[in-house]
Amino acid sequence: MSATGDLANLQKEFEQQASAVVGREAWDALRIAWVGRKQGKLKDLMARMKDIPPEERRDYGQAVNRLKTTVEQRIQALDVELEAKEKAASRTVTALDVTLPGRKPSLGTLHPITLVARQIESIFAELGYSVAEGPEIEDDYHNFEALNFPPDHPARETQDTLFLERAQADDGTLGPKLLLRTHTSPVQIRTMLGREKPPIRVICPGRVYRNDNDLRHSPMFHQVEGLAIAEGLTFGDMKGTLDAFCKRLFSADTDIRLRPSFFPFTEPSAEVDVTCAACKGKGCATCSDTGWMEILGCGMVDPRVLEGCGIDPDRYSGYAFGLGIDRVAMNRYNIPNIRVLFENDERLLRQVRT
Ligand code: PHE
């Protein structure tokens, strides 16, 4: 066989061995066997030149050089390939390092409004109240008329009602006048109209809307309404209930005080203040140095309201109250601006986590 034919066989042999290389050890063996300085298979090829007939020497020399280049390049490429594999493997090992400290899962938190609302619900549940709900889009009847707000009574304006655009039929007739409820009191009406008979004891938490927007007011906020109707309920029952409620919501040493007030649907009516939680009644910036915080409106349900809902006012009496949830949350978590509650900034939730 010619010397150049030998070279072709050598190349084939190399190619077979190279393609069988899977790890660093096999690669090392391949490298030593072919290009090793001492006994590499390619080492003596040039030395064989003297045995080649002179007219073939040029071709032979060139073929040897091509083979060397091929072998060297392939060995180098294999090196690069192996190195990449080794790196990937070492990364996998690091990812499984069992000595690293564990990662804490980040748990979600309930919103302060939800926390306070749930606490209020559970306090009243213990006092025998159940939860009722009503629609946020209301009509004039449930939000005002049935609550004894006469038509065009200025009280409707004091609540800065947000009215919805009235739908118009093809023949021009206007749909019902709808509004975003300005308080949770319409749920009182829906409860009384929907129930067969007293005794009734419900609380109604929910969103309410008014055209009002400053540091302490947002166009959407949250109230809880309470309603109790039974035979012989008195103003004293209401006061006792609210006192027990406030002591549980804030702290056992919280006092309440009632100031005369007016609501069209209660008579007599009162506003309820509680001992300022921030200064315990001493007077501070939160309570404008009064020692008290206003949190509730309440009163005995006006007999006209009972009558309008089909409840005999000669037999039954009742009381109602309304409480701002946002105020309580702001106070409890020291939030100076009501908007912070509705901006969805995750940092707020991290701060209220208990
Ligand atoms: N609905 C009243 C308000 O939003 C609060 C209230 C409720 C007062 C029930 C008395 C009784 O201002």
- Minimum CA distance residue for ligand 1 atom 10: 298
Interior CA angle at 135 toward 131 and 141, to 5°? 110
Same domain, 305 and 342: yes
As given in the structure block, the two tokens for residue 128 are: 């025998």
- pLDDT tens sequence for the chain (354 residues): 477 778 889 899 999 999 999 899 999 999 998 988 887 888 778 778 888 888 888 888 888 899 999 999 999 999 999 999 888 887 776 667 788 888 888 778 899 999 999 999 999 999 999 999 999 999 999 999 999 998 877 767 656 889 898 888 899 898 888 999 999 999 999 999 996 689 999 999 999 999 888 887 899 999 999 999 999 999 999 999 999 999 999 999 999 999 999 999 999 999 999 998 888 889 888 788 999 999 999 999 999 999 999 999 999 999 999 999 998 998 888 888 889 999 988 888 888 875
Same domain, 265 and 311: yes
Distance CA 168, CA 176 (A): 9
Distance 203 CA to ligand 1 centre (A): 13
Distance CA 27, CA 33 (A): 10
As given in the structure block, the two tokens for residue 88 are: 């990937």
- Minimum CA distance residue for ligand 1 atom 6: 322
**CB environment 42-79: b (16+ within 10 A), e (fewer):** beebeeeeeebeeeeeeebeebbeebbeebeebbeebe
Say whether 97 sits in a helix, a strand or coil: coil
Counting atoms of ligand 1 from 1, which one is nearest the CA of 226? 9
**Which of 66, 93, 120 is a domain's end point?**
93
Report the CATH number that the domain containing residue 280 is assigned in CATH.
3.30.930.10
Same domain, 70 and 128: no
Question: Is there a domain that residue 107 lies in?
Answer: no
Q: Which domain holds residue 12?
A: 3-93
Distance CA 189, CA 211 (A): 23
Exposure of 131 in the CB half-sphere (CA atoms within 13 A): 14
Same domain, 145 and 53: no
Same domain, 141 and 245: yes
- Minimum CA distance residue for ligand 1 atom 7: 322
Same domain, 142 and 191: yes
Tell me, what's the pLDDT at 190? 96
- Strand order through the sheet with 266-275: 130-131, 200-209, 220-231, 316-324, 292-301, 266-275, 256-263
Q: How many residues are given for the chain? A: 354
Question: Is there a domain that residue 100 lies in?
Answer: no
- Minimum CA distance residue for ligand 1 atom 3: 183
Which residues sit with their C-beta closer than 6 Å to ligand 1? 183, 185, 225, 263, 266, 297-299, 320-322
Distance 240 CA to ligand 1 centre (A): 18
Distance 142 CA to ligand 1 centre (A): 14
Same domain, 69 and 173: no
Question: Is there a domain that residue 178 lies in?
Answer: yes
Distance 298 CA to ligand 1 centre (A): 6
Same domain, 210 and 337: yes
Distance 117 CA to ligand 1 centre (A): 17
Tell me, what's the pLDDT at 94? 64
**Which of 45, 60, 93 is a domain's end point?**
93
If you count DSSP H runs as helices and E runs as strands, how many of each does the chain have, helices first? 11, 10
Counting atoms of ligand 1 from 1, which one is nearest the CA of 183? 4
pLDDT tens track for 261-285: 999 999 999 999 999 888 888 988 8
Run of H or E including 206: strand 200-209
Question: Is there a domain that residue 101 lies in?
Answer: no
Cβ atoms of 163 and 140 within 8 Å: the answer is no
pTM here?
A: 0.70
Question: Is there a domain that residue 296 lies in?
Answer: yes
Say whether 123 sits in a helix, a strand or coil: helix
Same domain, 69 and 165: no
**Which of 43, 66, 93 is a domain's end point?**
93
Same domain, 124 and 191: yes
> Residue 152: which residues within 8 A CB-CB, separation 6 or more?
none
Distance 9 CA to ligand 1 centre (A): 101
Question: Is there a domain that residue 190 lies in?
Answer: yes
**CB environment 180-211: b (16+ within 10 A), e (fewer):** bbbbbbbbbbbbbeebeebebbbbbbbebbbe
Alpha-carbon distances, residue 297 vs 41, 97, 234, 263 (angstroms): 101, 61, 16, 8
Question: Is there a domain that residue 104 lies in?
Answer: no
CA nearest 286: which of 331, 249, 252?
A: 331
Look at the chain and report how many structural domains it folds into. 2
Distance CA 203, CA 186 (A): 12
Run of H or E including 267: strand 266-275
Distance 254 CA to ligand 1 centre (A): 22
Counting atoms of ligand 1 from 1, which one is nearest the CA of 298? 10
Q: Rounded to 5 degrees, what are φ and ψ at 194?
A: -90, -15
Same domain, 140 and 30: no
As given in the structure block, the two tokens for residue 70 are: 């091929």
Same domain, 315 and 269: yes
Tell me, what's the pLDDT at 303? 98
Please name every residue paired with 290 in a beta bridge, in sequence order, or none if there are none.
none
Find how far residue 141's CA is from the centre of its chain. 36
Tell me, what's the pLDDT at 209? 95
CB atoms within 10 A of CB 345: 11
Question: Is there a domain that residue 225 lies in?
Answer: yes
